[in-house]
Structure 1
Amino acid sequence: MRGGIAERGGVRVGHRIIEINGMSVVATPHEKIVDILATAVGEIHMKTMPLSMYRLLTGQEQPAFL
């Protein structure tokens, strides 16, 4: 959301969240990531990666879930 807390924290449209509070979420379904973020208490530390970099490193647009 433009001007929202994520954008103010540096998350941009097209970024992939790769880590939340030190835990990799690369192969985590979107719904689970939303749940993790919605139920988090206190500060949330995220690492993100632009889609272009994600695509270069993995060869995927979206993670493949096994």
Structure 2
Amino acid sequence: MFKKICSLMRGGIAERGGVRVGHRIIEINGQSVVATAHEKIVQALSNSVGEIHMKTMPAAMFRLLTGQETPLYI
């Protein structure tokens, strides 16, 4: 359900902007995509013309904030 960056173009604009493999996509062009189906996100990105403003978050931080994973304290 959650959108994860699986690969990037080396030296591309996303990588230069700080996006990394494993990051979770949380917003596209000011709209939250946290609860959006994968297919709709792919379609939106494929049909985009011009600039795309995308917010991402490291997967570990995303899991902590959404409660997907409980941290272990040792």
TM-score range, shorter-chain basis? 0.7 to 0.9
Match of 1:24 among 32, 36, 53: 32
1:20-59 Cα distance to aligned partner (Å, 9 max, x none): 0000001111121111111111100011110001000112
Higher relative contact order (CA 8 A, sep 6+): 1
Gaps of 5+ in 2: 1-8, 70-74
Change beyond 3 A, Cα 1:31–1:5? farther
Gaps of 5+ in 1: 62-66
The SS at the match of 1:32 is helix
Matches within 5 A, 1:49-60: 49-60=57-68
Q: Please, what TM-score do these two structures have when normalized by structure 2?
A: 0.70
The structure in which a higher percent of residues are strand is: 1
RMSD: 1.7
Q: Please, what TM-score do these two structures have when normalized by structure 1?
A: 0.77
The SS at the match of 1:35 is helix
Which has more radius of gyration? 2
